[in-house]
Amino acid sequence: MHYTQLFRSFREAKGLTLEELSRLARRHRNTVVNVESGRPVKFKTIAGLMVKMGYPASSVEMRSIALLWLESLSGLSFSRPDTEASARKAIATYGSSVRSAARRLHEAINRADLTADEIELLVFAAGDRNVLEIVDRVRELVHTLAAADRTAQLKVAEDK
């Protein structure tokens, strides 16, 4: 079942029309229509409507809607037993690649013999989008110059 169908059934079980729910929740009618038609809606919006219908945040109904909404966004079926294993495997793979990258970074810092101030500067630079764009442009320039230098060396070797 899709969260939109379940939401509609909860609304109808409370005997509410689209208009009545929108008035009760002080939302535009289109908000309720968007939820029930599957248009992109934040879960906060759905949860607010559910509470206005009388379903507490800790209710089974709220958890059911939350899981189905999450399924619709992620493409994962949380009702299938193999999903948890698949998700854990993906997380482990991601974690191992992050650990590997951290290990390589640590080794590079050790090889470069960086001071604490230089490391702080790198951390700042990594968090600044403008600095990262400059670094990317410098990297491209270095690669371009290196390629041009190799081409020039090959030309000199051919001329000999």
CATH code for the domain of 10: 1.10.260.40
Distance separating alpha carbons of residues 88 and 120, to the nearest angstrom:
33
pLDDT at 125 (0 to 100): 76
Q: In this prediction, what percent of the chain has a pLDDT beyond 70?
A: 83
Same domain, 98 and 54: no
Same domain, 90 and 132: no
Domain that holds residue 88: 80-112
Residue 17: which pLDDT band, with cuts at 50, 70 and 90?
very high
pTM: 0.50
Same domain, 107 and 154: no
* Alpha helices, H only, 26-80: 29-37, 43-52, 60-74
pLDDT at 153 (0 to 100): 67
Domains in the chain, number: 3
Same domain, 94 and 128: no
Domain final residue, candidates 21, 54, 74: 74
Mean pLDDT of the chain: 82
Same domain, 59 and 86: no
Nearest CA to 55 out of 107, 105, 13 is that of 13
Nearest CA to 32 out of 14, 18, 15, 53 is that of 18
Same domain, 9 and 39: yes
- Tens digits of residue pLDDT in 93-129: 766 777 787 788 778 777 888 788 877 877 777 777 8
